[in-house]
Chain A
Amino acid sequence: MDRALHARLETRFGELLLGPVRQRHDETEMRIGPGSVPEVLRALHDEPGLRFELLADLCGVDTGTDLQAVYHLWSETTGDWLRVVADGLPREAPRVPSITFLWKGAEWLEREAYDMFGIVFEGNRDLRRIYMPDDYTSFPLRKDFHLPDDASRSPGGGVRPMEQVGRPADATDETARRRSNAS
Chain B
Amino acid sequence: MTTPTRPSLDDPNLTIPVDHAGIFEPIPMARTERQQEFYTLRDGEMLLNLGPQHPATHGVLRIVLKINGEQVVDLDPVIGYLHRGVEKLCENADYHQAICYTDPLEYIASLFCEWSPVMAFEKLLDVEVPRRAEYIRVLAGELNRIASHALYVGFFALDLGGITPILWAYLERDEIVEMLAALTGAKLLFNYFRIGGVNGDLSHDFMSRVGDWMSRAGRQVEAGTALLNENEILVRRARGIGVLDRETALRMAVTGPNLRASGIPWDVRRAHPYSVYPELEFDIPTRREGDSLARYLLRVDEVKQSLRIIDQCLHRLPDGPVMAKLPRLVRPRPGRAFAAIEGPRGMYATYAISDGTDQPFRMRIHDPSFIHLQLLGLLTPGNLIADTMAINASLDPVMGGVDK
Contacts and interface: CB of A to CB of B under 8 A. Distances in A.
Interface of A: 24-27, 29, 53-57, 59, 61-62, 70, 72, 74, 76, 79, 81, 83, 102-109, 112, 116, 125-134, 140-141, 145, 147, 152-153, 155-159, 163, 167, 174
Contact of A125 (B28, B34, B337): B34
Contacts of B92: 147, 152-153
Interface of B: 28, 31-35, 79-80, 83, 85, 87-89, 91-94, 96-97, 123, 248, 250-255, 266, 271-272, 328-329, 335-338, 340, 347, 349, 351, 353, 357-358, 362, 364, 366, 370-371, 374, 403-404
B289 to A, nearest CB: 21
A81 B366 CA distance: 14
12 contacts: A55-B253, A57-B349, A57-B366, A72-B338, A83-B338, A103-B252, A106-B253, A109-B253, A126-B35, A156-B358, A158-B93, A158-B97
B252 A105 contact: yes
Contacts of A56: 253, 255, 338, 340, 347, 349, 366
B368 to A, nearest CB: 11
Contacts of A70: 351, 364
A167 B329 contact: yes
Contacts of A53: 250
A147 B88 contact: yes
A152 B347 CA distance: 30
A145 B92 CA distance: 12
Contacts of A74: 271-272
Nearest to B373: A108
Given A54-B250, A54-B253, A158-B93, A141 B329 contact: no
A54 B266 contact: yes
A76 B250 CA distance: 14
A156 B349 contact: no
B373 to A, nearest CB: 8
Q: Which 7 A-B pairs have the closest CB atoms?
A: A105-B253, A105-B252, A126-B34, A131-B80, A131-B83, A125-B33, A59-B364
A145 B357 CA distance: 19
Contacts of B340: 56, 81
Contacts of B335: 24
B374 A108 contact: yes
A27 to B, nearest CB: 6
Contact of A57 (B32, B79, B364): B364
Nearest to B84: A131
A130 B61 CA distance: 12
A127 B36 CA distance: 12
A141 B88 contact: yes
A25 B123 contact: yes
A120 to B, nearest CB: 12
A103 B253 contact: yes
Contacts of B253: 54-56, 103, 105-106, 109
A159 to B, nearest CB: 6
B374 A107 contact: yes
Given A126-B34, A134-B28, A157 B97 contact: yes
